[in-house]
Structure 1
Amino acid sequence: MNIAWTYEHKTYTLSNGVRYKPDFLLETGEYVEIKGVFNFQYDLAKIQRFESEYNVKVSILQEKDLRRLIKPTPFVFEHLKQEWKARTKVRGMDNFGKRNPMYGVTQSESTKAKIRAKAKARFEDPAFREKFLNSPKRKAYHQSRIGKKTGTLVPRISLICEICQRSFEVVQHKASKRRFCSKHCSIQAQHGKTSMTDSGIRSLTYAFALTNSEQLFSAKLNQLKDIFQPLLDSIKKEYNILDIRTICQIVVGIPCSRKEFLYHLRSYVQNVRGATTN
């Protein structure tokens, strides 16, 4: 726009003691402040006080405003942003690690003495000391350091494990889905059922293969879940077994993938109906 500008021209001290350094001073006498995340509670009040006390105008631009400004131009916002970072090396853009002006800077002994004196004076106030030592936040912090749970706990319901008969607790909305206290007991329940239901599951699976042989031979390998879903639903309803790996272990003899399960059922259909079955 052919307007001359100066970056961070001067730091101003406001009447409340707060210091403020506007981002840009234009040759027109107007100030421009660029804000990524704008804190209206703090930043806006500070800018308005600066405008009132120094009788100037400050324009606040956020990213959406910058994008709107360059929309009619051939420039790309992200490219301009990276170019600005590379060319100006401004402190506010990249101040991590050694680029931070306070990196490696420690307080002087006089400053440390002031901090100690201020902290000591605050603790001499009985009201402050009592409030600090009995602060719920402080107590919760120390409890968390030793592994104790803090905060309001969600109400829990006690259940009895169907395998080991031990009592365990769950949150209320999960009570209808939990039958076992641990994954170990859940696996034991699955294995215990399969020892008594192997023949029934094999019969159900092979009957499914013969009935749906055309789908099995024309199936695409990325659609096997939908093809096997009716079989899984019937096994779940009849024997309450959900894991397809357990079903594969029963039918094929080893835990396998859906693709290997498909090949096994195809081979079974061919052996029953002949190698030309399609």
Structure 2
Amino acid sequence: MTGLAEETAVDEGLHVLVVDDELPAIEDLAYLLRADERVREVSTASSGAAALRALDHGDVAALFLDIRMPGMSGLDLARVLTHFERPPKIVFVTAYESHAVDAFELHAVDYLLKPVAQERLAEAVRRVVAEVTGRPGPAATADDETIPVELAHVTRFVRRSEVRYAEAHGDYARLYTRRDSYLVRTSLSALEDAWGDAGFMRVHRSHLVALAHIDEMYVESGRCAIRVGDMRLPVSRRNTRALRDRLVRNARPGAQRP
């Protein structure tokens, strides 16, 4: 399809294909996808070969693809799809973290771990829409950075838009997302310089925070603090006024989020 045709198709709803050799996994994922208003149709296939046949009979925007399947694995199928003139987007859905590097070398849009939470699946759908249309959507910026992180000898890939705040750990920094945290080999000062234009602000010598993820700002006993999800983070006196000004500007009608 042309770019305009792709956008029109997405606006009408995505047609996605769930590929897994286990029927309960297919049924669970298909149920969650059908609950997403951006998804128009969900097809299913129980093998790589069946998936290829299904692609001949419909305009599929994305595959939600298991990796470990008998015969043709999900990675094998993804390699075949790279030879298509206009391959569908790939979201890997697996119980194993060990294939993340291979998945992203194949330009996967996302990598979900089973069991899949509906909120995390919704983010994957958003990424598919952004890839197909070129529109980043409300949860990311056009230049959203992907950060490789190490966790138990496995490389995972985290989008900058998923990071709620970062905490200083000597010459390292720990990134906190909604569910996990990751130690990265860079200083908080380096992240501040790199991410300042992407809506992050240093609120304390130990914390760099994504302004979009701040839920509350309050003062107790003369000390300012913010709430980010379930975490309460201190704000230094020297940064309190600047932070308040940034949050007020962002809250004004018509103001763009940082």
Q: TM-score, normalised by structure 1?
A: 0.20
Larger RCO (CA under 8 A, 6+ residues apart): 2
Higher normalized helix content (fraction of residues): 1
Structure ranking higher in strand proportion: 2
How high is the TM-score relative to the length of structure 2? 0.22
